[in-house]
Structure 1
Amino acid sequence: MTALIDQLRTAPRSVLGRIPGISGDDDESRRPLPVSGMLAAAMTLGVGLAALTTMTLIGWIAAPGSTALGSGLPGVFRTAAQIWLAAHHAGFAIPGGRVGLLPLGLMILPAVLLYKAARWMARDADLRLRLPAQLPKNSPKEQAGARRKAQLVLVAQAGVSLAAPYALLAGLIALVASNDVTQPYLGEVLASHFLLAFACGALATARTIGPFRSMLRLLPERARAVALGTATATALMLTAGLLLVLSALLVNFRSIAELTSQLSPGFVGGVMLLLIQVLYLLNAVVWAMAYIAGPGFAVGTGTLVAPTGVNLEPMPLLPLLGALPDSGPAPAWAMAVVALPFLAGAVAGVVVVRVAPSPSYEAAPFWGLVTGVATGLTAGVLAALSGGPMRGEQLAAMGPSPWEVALSVALEVGVAAGLSAGLANWMLLYRDARKEPGKVAKAGAAIARAASKVGLAESDSAKPLPGHWMDATEADTQAIPVIRDDWMDEHASAAAEVQAQSRRRDIVDETDDRGGHVIYMDPYAWDKD
């Protein structure tokens, strides 16, 4: 896809370069960033709609008697457009209610296309050449801070350049896809497309400026530590949710097979049913995370699936729902899963301290608590995206409650992260405090041994230096010696001085006490203090 756009971009320039009098310089013909963003947005929408229209058309041809995919080619295109809007988590209004329970797995297709298009946009606008990924070593902090701010501004500009035209084009598609049965919410369409495109565009631009490690350096140290701790806790909880879902599918596989046989979908319908359940698997993982956190989730109005108990009503005939437990009190071991958020918080607290240790004992628990709050907000957003109504009445409440999940995760992860961060930070400071005196003592002992060997330190076997050492009053009357041009370090100077004293003994007889004494004035005694 990007290679085709690159060829289309360079082809006119190569042709113009052959015309006399017209320059084909690539730097002068570079497009501005908003123009590149508009082309990338149009490219993403075109490729995505073409792929979905092709798949919908194949299903319509394989099942000619079915009207689920639309009637005629215009209906097939409207169905593909509605699937594209649903992939961005934009809801629909239908007779008797609304559809908000949309598969999160379907969001992977536009996210990948947007990321690829944003990488092309960054290369087309030469964003890598605008700011270096790294500065030379020992650069001033002010320069590094200014570079970081400039890079963040550039990343935000690239995200907006892709997201703004992408959302406007999606609004036109929503108007085309509207019919008497399904009517997309225009506000949700604009907001969902803008947010997804901005996130993918900013991430791709940051990746173009430098490697993934440089992407994290765009954030300040403390924000980077909190972000990594939040990502660690969220990833651990989602991994635990995935394991719980796979275990439930394996244990209740017979019930899932019975529900599938009751539907009798046929070959084409069976493939579509399997694809839908795979796309809803990410929703199930988020629901399992809400189950682990404690609040659980609902499968209809008045229902609840939580570690404290299960209360279910008649559910839709979706084989994936056959993995749910039976109604009744939950077993005692089910409450053990509530300990998983605390474990995730403990690991996240250690990560926060390892990335950015706190200089004081009191600050580390605070940043652990901030990490817990950020993790709770992330879990609440995921809960909101994973649930929603399926129509009205009984199916109006599907999925976990966002505010309950956010509050539970923030408390559980925040408390555990605060305690682990405080303990890890105390151990780090205590270890450094013990290491430093040991290093100083070892270094002092080594210097003392070296000095004793050259006669600069007192020892039991040391002999007094020869000659007469002047007191303070005598030293004031003597001129200060001039430092030699060939000045050596302390150890070499001391060794040379010892050799000079041995030579002076051959000239001055210091043991002669006839009629007085011999005074020896050392001109280099000033540097031995």
Structure 2
Amino acid sequence: MSSVTPDQPRRATDARGVGARPPGRAGPPRRVPVQRGTPGGRRHPPLAVAALVAAGGAALTSWLPVAFALWLFQLSEGAATLLGAIRAGAAGWLLGHGVPLDTAAGPLGLAPLAVTVLAIWRLTRAGVHASRAVGARGSRSPGRTLAVAAAVGVGYGLIGLLAALLVGTGDTGVSWSRAAVTLAVLGTLAAGLGAVRTTELADVLAGQVPTPVREGARAGLVAALVLLGAGAAGAGLAVATGGGDAADLIGAYRTGVAGQAGITLVSLAYAPNATLWSTSYLLGPGFAVGTDTAVRTSEVSVGALPALPLFAGLPSGPVDGLGSIVILAMPVLVGMGAGWLLARRLIRSAGADRAPLRWRRLLVPAVLVGPVAGALLGVLAEVSGGPLGAGRLAEVGPVGWQVALAAALITGGGAVLGAAATRWLTRHPS
């Protein structure tokens, strides 16, 4: 054990443990340089730079698959050039964001939702990366969260403007103002999702939402996802049964192996659209494949269709007998399943709190299941359609409000019934 004698003055240390001047000795205080890598010495890039880099990365990674698919198609026709692939990829990329294209056959506005989903995912990650880059991680600051989302959105809108100007130099026209505004809004919303999660502002906002609303929204989201899964299964079954027709349609293009691969990739880009159309078919409203046409369980009236693999799995006629009963019962069963899950979760929560589960606590979130599922499916159904020219195919896809109304009524009624039945069968004390 060492001791310090008066002849050996103790060396003063600062907060970092770095030696300073001993007490009593004259001279200015010693400046301790801040070390790099410490929290106080880390320098963050400007928000504009971080947001532009993140937005550029999101745009590049969502544009490359589109450009590659269209380049394969051009390669089969012997007209593949680097500039042509870049321009075609930019046109398809803008279409995937909901920006219509002006072609010789009329407006093309049927967005490939697979590109949309990819772009939204990459924009969400852009919000995460930009938030981390500027040091906003875990800050729970609404101002910094909004600033990151807006900066990424502005950068993405500028990239959309450049893409529109590039596409406009070819045979395809596009509104540069609409492209800039659409991509800026989409970029802000999607990047905001990532920024809210990274800054942990989502935890603060979720804590301010009443518990019944939160439970109902969760159950409604589950119901919507299950219905989309059922629609995907139905679309897959339709494509499987009509796979021969789809293969014949792809082979009829006579574009070689590369061209057929490109057509297949483009068809896969519209797989989410087919899923939403199939979901609308299960719910009842159905969808249109042209002006004055209808594809629903009770009626199938279509005219001559273009040779597109997307239309190969269309039903040939109305459904009757046992098939119609199964289709009509499926959305109701999905709603009842969501209500059952909701009731089981609330019953377990009440048991843990040793408090009775009252009917009001159960029925309020159960009533919200239908509107939440209907709103989500209605918006998705609306964006899944669009024109395929100025002729008879000017109306393709379902009507959003009809899908929203059907999903809200059917799923909501099933959820209330399932939750009430579960509550009654468990005989939980009131």
TM-score tier by shorter-chain length is 0.7 to 0.9
Preserved CA contact (<8 Å) 1:53 1:80: yes
Name 1:344's counterpart in structure 2. Answer: 334
Measured in 1, the distance between the counterparts of 2:258 and 2:49 equals: 43
Name 1:403's counterpart in structure 2. Answer: 401
Measured in 2, the distance between the counterparts of 1:48 and 1:280 equals: 15
Match of 1:278 among 268, 281, 294: 268
Measured in 1, the distance between the counterparts of 2:200 and 2:341 equals: 23
Measured in 1, the distance between the counterparts of 2:341 and 2:146 equals: 27
Name 2:78's counterpart in structure 1. Answer: 65
Measured in 1, the distance between the counterparts of 2:215 and 2:170 equals: 50
Match of 1:101 among 110, 113, 129: 110
Measured in 1, the distance between the counterparts of 2:232 and 2:242 equals: 15
The alpha carbon displacement at 1:372 in A equals 0.6
What secondary structure sits across from 1:183 in the alignment? coil
The alpha carbon displacement at 1:427 in A equals 6.2
Q: 1:122 to 1:417 in 2, by over 3 A?
A: same
CA RMSD of aligned residues (A): 3.3
Name 1:36's counterpart in structure 2. Answer: 50
Give per-residue Cα distances to partners, 1:272-312, cap 9 Å, x unaligned.
11111111111111000000000111111222111112112
What secondary structure sits across from 2:120 in the alignment? helix
What secondary structure sits across from 1:90 in the alignment? coil
- Structure 2 unaligned spans of 5+: 1-32, 351-355
Measured in 2, the distance between the counterparts of 1:305 and 1:80 equals: 32
Is 1:335 aligned with 2:289? no
Is 1:431 aligned with 2:422? no
Mapping 1:49-448, distance limit 5 Å: 49=63, 53=67, 60=74, 62-63=75-76, 65-66=78-79, 73-131=82-140, 155-179=145-169, 181-186=171-176, 188-209=178-199, 219-326=209-316, 328-336=317-325, 337-353=327-343, 354=345, 360-362=358-360, 364-424=362-422, 431-433=428-430
Preserved CA contact (<8 Å) 1:346 1:413: yes
Q: 1:363 to 1:36 in 2, by over 3 A?
A: same
Give per-residue Cα distances to partners, 1:166-196, cap 9 Å, x unaligned.
1233123212321463222345424542343
Which has the higher mean CA deviation after the structures are superposed, 32-41 or 297-306? 32-41
Q: 1:220 to 1:175 in 2, by over 3 A?
A: farther
In percent, how many aligned pairs have the same letter?
Answer: 26
Measured in 2, the distance between the counterparts of 1:242 and 1:218 equals: 35
Name 1:143's counterpart in structure 2. Answer: none
Measured in 2, the distance between the counterparts of 1:385 and 1:94 equals: 20
TM-score by length of 2: 0.78
Q: 1:223 to 1:260 in 2, by over 3 A?
A: same
Preserved CA contact (<8 Å) 2:76 2:257: no
Preserved CA contact (<8 Å) 2:145 2:199: no
Q: Which amino acid aligns with 1:119?
A: V
What secondary structure sits across from 2:312 in the alignment? helix
Q: 1:172 to 1:258 in 2, by over 3 A?
A: closer
Which has the higher mean CA deviation after the structures are superposed, 314-323 or 418-427? 418-427
Measured in 1, the distance between the counterparts of 2:101 and 2:56 equals: 23
The alpha carbon displacement at 1:366 in A equals 4.1
Q: Which amino acid aligns with 1:431?
A: H
Give per-residue Cα distances to partners, 1:372-422, cap 9 Å, x unaligned.
112111111111111111002211111111121111111111212223334
Preserved CA contact (<8 Å) 1:387 1:398: yes
Q: 1:53 to 1:330 in 2, by over 3 A?
A: closer
How many residues align? The count is: 388
Q: 1:249 to 1:57 in 2, by over 3 A?
A: closer
Measured in 2, the distance between the counterparts of 1:164 and 1:432 equals: 55
What secondary structure sits across from 1:310 in the alignment? strand
The alpha carbon displacement at 1:31 in A equals 3.4
